[in-house]
Amino acid sequence: MPIQVVFIGPAGSGKTTLVKAYGDWLSRSGRSVSFINLDPGVEETPYSPSFDIRVLFTVEEIMRKESLGPNGAMIRAMDILAERSFELASRINTLEENYRLIDTPGQSELFVFRSAGPEIMRGLSEVGRTIVVFLIDGQLICSPSDLIAVFSLAAACRLRLNVPFVHVVTKADVLSRSDLERLMQEPEYLQGRIVEEEAGLLQEYVLEHSKIVHPFLRRQRTVLVSALSGAGLDLMDSLIHDATCECGDLR
């Protein structure tokens, strides 16, 4: 059964770049790869898609036909994706490659928190082993509260999509914090940094919320990757393999 890897994350976190880098890495490892673009608003992709949603519709076409602005057209595009989710899954299922790398819209909140994301995940899960790679922009984690916020978002996305999840911190070659791995793995260290770097009501809130988020962090490893240098792609691949095998427990 093929492995379908769906990349999601906030705008600017590097989804498309990582899709291309991981696909090239898999190809060099002798594995067959297909690229799937589900972003109807993207102008161009660095990879050659085996299936491209823009063949069916684009945000620009929706704007023109339905007299909508860019935001309204993107919302409408997500609704169309939801309506045609099983058709999309059927089209994707015709691809013969062992790995299907699926690039999602830059506005991940529209994909995840409207019906498009959950509907597409249900359709994909019917035709292959499906996993989400959630991207975290390492450049944006400048404080413990940033870390807690981004993993809270990851947890919300996981609840919405209901498939195995792995997390990767992107742009590892230009990280803002050198102690990021310790923050994610050592609860005492995280709490100490919160006390040092936050103040007042925010400190109290982040400390309490860290008690909820940190067990979620420790339960599964988060790897640091750089799409530019290729660092960490092997570790990400290992996480994906663990999550998609029957012994995986990353739901």
Per-residue pLDDT of 125-167, as tens digits, reads 998 899 999 999 998 899 999 999 998 999 899 999 999 999 9
CATH topology of domain 3-175+221-244: Rossmann fold (3.40.50)
The domains of the chain are located at 3-175+221-244
- Among 161, 36, 177, CA closest to 94: 36
Verdict on whether the full-model pTM lies above 0.95 = no
Mean pLDDT of 205-213: 89
Distance CA 95, CA 99 (A): 9
* Pure H helices in the chain: 15-28, 59-66, 70-83, 85-93, 108-113, 116-125, 144-161, 180-185, 187-197, 200-219, 233-244
Per-residue pLDDT of 10-42, as tens digits, reads 888 999 999 999 999 999 999 999 999 999 999
173 secondary structure, DSSP code = G
Residue 10, both tokens = 């906030």
